[in-house]
Structure 1
Amino acid sequence: MPDDAAKRDSAVAGEDVEKQTSGQTLFLNEDVTSLAWQDLTVTVNDRTTQAPRNILDASSGIVRPGQMMALMGPSGSGKTTLLNTLAQRQTPTHGKVLINGAECPLATHRAVSSFVEQEDTLIGSLTVEETLKFAAKLSLPSTVSKTEAYSRASSLIAAFGLSEQRRTLIGTPIQKGISGGQKRRVSVATHLITGPRVLYLDEPTSGLDSTASFEVMSFIRDIAKRNNLIVIASIHQPSTKTLELFSKVTLLSKGKTCFYGGVSEVDQYFRGLGMEIPHLTNPSEHMLDLTNVDFGSEEAQTRLDIIFEGWKNSERPHDLANEIKALSSHQAQVTPVAARPPFFSQVLTLLRRAFIKSYRDLVCYWVRVAMYMGLAIMMGTVWLRLSPTQEHIQPFINAIFFGSAFLSFMAVAYVPAFLEDRAVFVKERANGLYGPTAFLVTNFLVGLPFLFLIAFLFSVVSYWLIDLRPDGGAFFTWIMWLFLDLIAAESLVVLVSSIFPNFVVALALVAFANGLWMSVGGFLVAMPVLNVFWKYVFHYIDYQAYVFQGMMVNEFKDRIYDCEVQNGQCFCMYQSALQKECKIEGRAVLDNYDYAPGREGKWVGILIGIIVVYRLLGWLVTYLKKT
């Protein structure tokens, strides 16, 4: 541990030197002198009885620059509710949050604070350095130069002891990356890039062992002290060493305050209640044991009532109320913060980040490319070298349907990649970096080259092996239909995954929807036969149907097939004007399906319309859903 501490001090010292030489300040929180909350209460209706119930009851406290506040308590105690309320992610039923003694609008809270989620929602295919640089470009105002933005990223990498991991990937399920503790540090560092005045941490040590937890919180404590940063963290059961890093602690149970004050005061306070912390016992473990009544013990409930009464009757709540009142009488204005980068700059930055992720992340598109190439080879060899004869007309139709429908169906492979992108967006949106429009425009644009590549490679292999209409124009028209098919399928994935951001549910619903589109598309049951309900309710909004129609017209409108000859007699399964020549005109096949050539432009327009509707609905859902 001494070596680690020396490295930290050296890194932070290096940060200070860099700040001085650059002439810029890494953190800009000199104008926030306090964060206080007074009588915060959050009331909900009980699910069983529907009676009002306080999940947070009259909580108060003050944190000043350079201090770290630990929010502690057993599960369901209200610490996460308090954290979310302080961060303005939840509206209190009663009470107020004060910055420099004054209530401030949401925009001010977002401008001076940043919220680090419990889960490390990082992009695994980016390096540590890239993660920090993109965070800088997305969050810093346009008045900050590119050089200064990158300088901040480098300073934070050094300050958090990540210099050796600078060019290491964060890590994906199939690509090894940095450790869990290092990921936590990267998550915190990305939120410090803008120099927030207040940092909220939701269970920052979740999933880490005691050594990694101490390491992470030590780095945060160093940053907070050296830069006068206010840190408020919900934390479950820290080790003794980790707890001692905090300046203050708020202990909750059943939403009520059990203790508020300095960490060094905990032992003396509970000794005064006759609940002294035993020798060699972790104080946080002892506090949780005292306040946990989940198992319904009468003794535990009696003990908790004594704790509640002891806090209520002590002088501490009165002293705290007077301190908050004094703050309110000396209000200080918070300096306005410059605006975020403009929309166009956000989109360009997101595009670059998304493109790097797309070509590095094997799961995002390359697994699909390999899968579709395997499908192309399989199709090309199963339907190998079909000839323009009557007996091969149905295999041609089957190949057209299978190719278009299966490509569309396998868009389900995009679900996990989109959900990862969405998780990052939800986190960054909550911190006010950008909105749903920038996210979904980027998502749409970055996918186009990859989807075109899939359509092109699939067609190069399968089209000529099957021996579909041997014409350059027909070949590129085929690619166009596949490209539109893939865009529509991916747009459906975006819509469904936005409504149900759960991997299993989204996967099942996308698969079901594609199965439905296959059933009513016009191949399995021809249009003249299709039941009117399915025809008028679902067929006309089925993007697969327009792709199949377009491919059918592309193949059959200008091709002629030989009829079967038996014992010198000609047998044609489709009636056409060429029957006397013992041939079948391809348009006769189209007539059987009720597909008329010349409508391709209309079908393309409808397909584009369906894509636009999917994307707009996806935007609407994303706009309305905050999580």
Structure 2
Amino acid sequence: MMPPEHETTNITGSPAGVLHAAAPPSSVANVSPCIEDAVSDVQQQSSPARFSILRQTLPPVTLMFEDVAYSVKLETTKGSCFSSAEPKQTRFVLNGVSGIVRPGELLAMLGPSGSGKTTLLTALAGRLAGKFSGTITYNGQPFSSSIKRKTGFVSQDDVLYPHLTVLETLTYAALLRLPNKLSREEKMEQAELIIMELGLTRCRNSVVGGPLFRGVSGGERKRVSMGQEMVVNPSLLLLDEPTSGLDSTTAQRIVATLRGLARGGRTVVTTIHQPSSRLYAMFDKVVVLSEGYPIYSGGAGKVMEYFGSLGYVPGINFVNPADFLLDLANGVAPDIIKQEDQPESHGNGRSLDHLLPEDQNSIKQSLVSSYKKNLHPSVKHEIRRSCSPLLPSAAQTSQSKSSRSSENQWSTSWWMQFKVLLRRGLKERKHESYSGLRIFQVLTVAVLSGLLWWHSNTLHIQDQVGLLFFFSIFWGFFPLFNAIFAFPQERPMLIKERSSGMYRLSSYYFARMAGDLPMELVLPTIFVTITYWMGGLKPSLVTFLLTLSIILFNVLVSQGLGLALGAILMDVKQATTLASVTMLVFLLVGGYYIQHIPLFISWLKYISLSHYCYKLLVGVQYGENEVYECEFGEHCRVFDFPAIDNLGIDNLGWDVAALAAMLVGYRLLAYVALRMGQPR
């Protein structure tokens, strides 16, 4: 359960995350943002024992954005035979937005849906795709990898692993994001402190949950998402709609938590759609957007005075300033009197309840013009005055070069990232890989296959060859379609964690590959063990082990193909369709159904993994001198059987080499596709 409001606002932002009395906003906000020790007096109040957990403190960050503009090209319909294609239209998502947030302040960005709040927040986090105009600086410096590690970004959608508990989720985040100089115990202690600070103690051992099964509540999920970013003690915390979908009480606790974090010396920026009056009272500053244009940027307590000076005064029915601002941003003003335009013949004023679209646009344009005339110069002056550019000395230049070289290093080593990601992947995916449905599916097919081929022998060599071909196609299809879902399903998590600089893509990829081995090889081992002996194949332990090795090899190759298709397309439907066509072609040219493939299309069998697996299975199952009863009382060599003779079992080493090349090639292709589609 979340602490009461007066306790929540006492949450500190000290490096160890220790609870102490909140500092007043002015004690932090009025300090020059260009000095790193702007909140040293706040940090020194922390407990020495817990302060030692994170000895390296993060400097405060003053965020300044000036005349930020961003546009996108809209898709248009193609021209017909009688008309040419229309040129793409440009839509301005942001236009001339400015503001400043200092350590200790909580800034809220308000506006209707589609006004550009999320786009602006994404730009402030350094994650906006494409180019934008204007300047965004952090302590007077542009965005860099060091700023990236000091920034926490919480998206609107809570991207969390559903089968992990709250404690496991935050512990893995701490192990990945905290520096190597901290021991494992210190990192785990930091996760515990975050749990206490965010009021998650009651649900610390509960699974997060997802769409298919219940877990923690919506407010607790949001606080877990915040905790993942708080674990590194960010100087700058950005949140997109943290109260979306929450009840008013839970939303108040979330915003109270953010306010307490800001009071500890952090710079906190959040977008919020329609806050209540209680939430609005917690904001220090607000930026109000209307169709990408700013109509206000400044102190939250001065907003009513500003719009009142323009002639917009809320009526008696308005008790929430946020509702008043949103109505203005939409160009509608119920129960508002525009005093300067009020004719005397209308008595108490002209109602603007039912404005036409032209009137709404007129109000918006008027507000935008008033902002440019009245507020924009003062905001720019505040930005200039807060952090004027300084010419660096030679010593500072060399120091910045050394820090720039060190900031390119990751917080943890490659091996640490690999171990943590492997452990986390095994814990999360075991529920899917060893689900009752999948085990039932494999065991049912194994027993049914064993019964259908019950104690077959060389007297029924055609049936035995069919069983071997069934091995190759079943354990080609099954792992392929399971692997297709891997990267598309994990894409949101991968984008989120990679954007935060949590780990290298290579460490994630190799951890994924290593974690798949026990997940993907156990079930085929059980399947082959059951079906091989029930099906009456050669009763030799060596032959059985070779057959099992070939099947497992085929599983890894098929899985690599599925991973590559999923990574390239990143769309489950498209990848499944392409995989179906691919495996159908591999099935037809595998060498069982068609022995004499026309020359102009026979090259397809050389790219079929089923073809190589089938040849290897037949090659290890039968010896060169084995015979079968081809006619009554007459025996023939097994290798002379037409279905085997046309396979060309003469040099199995080339088949092994071909599968090995596919094993490496498909997985390399999957990695390259991931590398091209993910942030570095």
> TM over 0.5, yes or no?
yes
Say whether the 8 Å CA contact 2:53–2:186 is kept in structure 1.
no
Could you tell me how far apart the structure 1 residues matched to 2:564 and 2:514 are?
16
Change (3 A) 1:623 1:404: same
1:319-367 Cα deviation digits (max 9, x unpaired): 11111111332669998767411111111111111122232x2357664
- Provide the alpha-carbon RMSD of the alignment: 2.9
Could you tell me how far apart the structure 2 residues matched to 1:62 and 1:179 are?
34
Q: Please give the secondary structure, in 1, of the residue aligned with 2:313.
A: coil
Could you tell me how far apart the structure 2 residues matched to 1:63 and 1:540 are?
62
Q: CA deviation at 1:379?
A: 1.0
Match of 2:305 in 1: 268
Say yes or no: does 1:617 pair with 2:676.
Answer: no
Of residues 126, 138, 148 in structure 2, which corresponds to 1:99? Answer: 138
Q: Please give the secondary structure, in 1, of the residue aligned with 2:18.
A: helix
Match of 2:471 in 1: 403
Say whether the 8 Å CA contact 2:9–2:256 is kept in structure 1.
no
Match of 2:37 in 1: none
Which range moves more in the overlay, 161-170 or 86-95? 86-95
Could you tell me how far apart the structure 2 residues matched to 1:472 and 1:196 are?
59
Q: CA deviation at 1:186?
A: 0.7
Change (3 A) 1:257 1:493: same
1:460-506 Cα deviation digits (max 9, x unpaired): 11111111222111111111121112112221222122123233333
Could you tell me how far apart the structure 1 residues matched to 2:611 and 2:538 are?
20
Say whether the 8 Å CA contact 2:61–2:267 is kept in structure 1.
no
Match of 1:283 in 2: 321
What pairs with 1:127-526 in structure 2 (closer than 5 Å)?
Answer: 127-226=165-264, 228-278=265-315, 279-280=317-318, 282-292=320-330, 297-314=357-374, 316-329=375-388, 339-359=410-430, 361-362=431-432, 367-389=437-459, 392-411=460-479, 412-526=481-595
Q: Please give the secondary structure, in 2, of the residue aligned with 1:16.
A: coil
Say yes or no: does 1:5 pair with 2:5.
Answer: yes
Q: Please give the secondary structure, in 2, of the residue aligned with 1:563.
A: strand
1:71-108 Cα deviation digits (max 9, x unpaired): 222232222221121111225432111112x2234213
Change (3 A) 1:378 1:4: farther
Say whether the 8 Å CA contact 1:364–1:414 is kept in structure 2.
no
Say whether the 8 Å CA contact 1:27–1:194 is kept in structure 2.
no
Could you tell me how far apart the structure 2 residues matched to 1:604 and 1:548 are?
11
Query: What is the letter of the counterpart of residue 214 of structure 1?
Result: Q
Change (3 A) 1:220 1:38: same
Change (3 A) 1:512 1:170: farther
Say whether the 8 Å CA contact 1:74–1:253 is kept in structure 2.
yes
Q: Please give the secondary structure, in 2, of the residue aligned with 1:584.
A: strand
- Could you tell me the TM-score, scaled by structure 1's length? 0.89
Could you tell me how far apart the structure 1 residues matched to 2:506 and 2:357 are?
52
Change (3 A) 1:105 1:5: closer
Which range moves more in the overlay, 23-32 or 607-616? 23-32
Say whether the 8 Å CA contact 1:200–1:231 is kept in structure 2.
yes
Could you tell me how far apart the structure 2 residues matched to 1:363 and 1:354 are?
11
Say whether the 8 Å CA contact 2:615–2:649 is kept in structure 1.
no
Say whether the 8 Å CA contact 1:381–1:466 is kept in structure 2.
yes
1:569-604 Cα deviation digits (max 9, x unpaired): x5xxxxxxxxxxx12322123764522335333222
Could you tell me how far apart the structure 2 residues matched to 1:125 and 1:308 are?
48
Say yes or no: does 1:550 pair with 2:616.
Answer: yes
Query: What is the letter of the counterpart of residue 206 of structure 1?
Result: S
1:490-530 Cα deviation digits (max 9, x unpaired): 2122212212323333333333332332223222322x325
Could you tell me how far apart the structure 1 residues matched to 2:575 and 2:618 are?
31
Q: Please give the secondary structure, in 2, of the residue aligned with 1:216.
A: helix
Say whether the 8 Å CA contact 2:414–2:504 is kept in structure 1.
no
Query: What is the letter of the counterpart of residue 472 of structure 2?
Result: S
Could you tell me how far apart the structure 2 residues matched to 1:72 and 1:282 are?
13
What pairs with 1:2-41 in structure 2 (closer than 5 Å)?
Answer: 4-5=4-5, 8=8, 15-16=18-19, 19-24=47-52, 31-41=59-69
1:541-570 Cα deviation digits (max 9, x unpaired): 2222211211122223454322343xxxx5
Number of corresponding residues: 603
Say whether the 8 Å CA contact 2:11–2:261 is kept in structure 1.
no
Could you tell me how far apart the structure 1 residues matched to 2:583 and 2:433 are?
21
1:236-294 Cα deviation digits (max 9, x unpaired): 22333233332211111222111112222233333333333442454334433332379
Could you tell me how far apart the structure 1 residues matched to 2:364 and 2:156 are?
28
Query: What is the letter of the counterpart of residue 163 of structure 1?
Result: T
Say whether the 8 Å CA contact 1:32–1:65 is kept in structure 2.
yes
Could you tell me how far apart the structure 2 residues matched to 1:463 and 1:183 are?
48
Say whether the 8 Å CA contact 1:492–1:614 is kept in structure 2.
yes
Could you tell me how far apart the structure 2 residues matched to 1:406 and 1:612 are?
21
Which range moves more in the overlay, 5-14 or 189-198? 5-14
Q: CA deviation at 1:121?
A: 1.5
Say whether the 8 Å CA contact 2:8–2:253 is kept in structure 1.
no
1:582-627 Cα deviation digits (max 9, x unpaired): 1232212376452233533322221121121111111111111137
Say whether the 8 Å CA contact 2:433–2:519 is kept in structure 1.
no
Could you tell me how far apart the structure 2 residues matched to 1:522 and 1:209 are?
63
Q: Please give the secondary structure, in 2, of the residue aligned with 1:23.
A: helix
Could you tell me how far apart the structure 1 residues matched to 2:609 and 2:663 are?
9
Say whether the 8 Å CA contact 1:590–1:596 is kept in structure 2.
no
Say whether the 8 Å CA contact 2:473–2:587 is kept in structure 1.
yes
Change (3 A) 1:357 1:46: closer
Could you tell me how far apart the structure 1 residues matched to 2:212 and 2:143 are?
44
Q: Please give the secondary structure, in 1, of the residue aligned with 2:451.
A: helix
Which range moves more in the overlay, 589-598 or 151-160? 589-598
1:196-240 Cα deviation digits (max 9, x unpaired): 1111212223333333322322222222222x1111122222333
Match of 1:574 in 2: none
1:151-190 Cα deviation digits (max 9, x unpaired): 1100000001111111111124554321121111111101
Change (3 A) 1:213 1:520: farther
Could you tell me how far apart the structure 1 residues matched to 2:364 and 2:440 are?
61
Say whether the 8 Å CA contact 1:365–1:414 is kept in structure 2.
no
Change (3 A) 1:403 1:244: farther
Say whether the 8 Å CA contact 2:628–2:636 is kept in structure 1.
yes
Query: What is the letter of the counterpart of residue 419 of structure 1?
Result: P
Change (3 A) 1:437 1:293: farther
Q: Please give the secondary structure, in 1, of the residue aligned with 2:206.
A: coil
Q: CA deviation at 1:128?
A: 1.0
Say whether the 8 Å CA contact 1:364–1:417 is kept in structure 2.
no
Change (3 A) 1:208 1:585: farther
Of residues 557, 562, 565 in structure 1, which corresponds to 2:629? Answer: 562
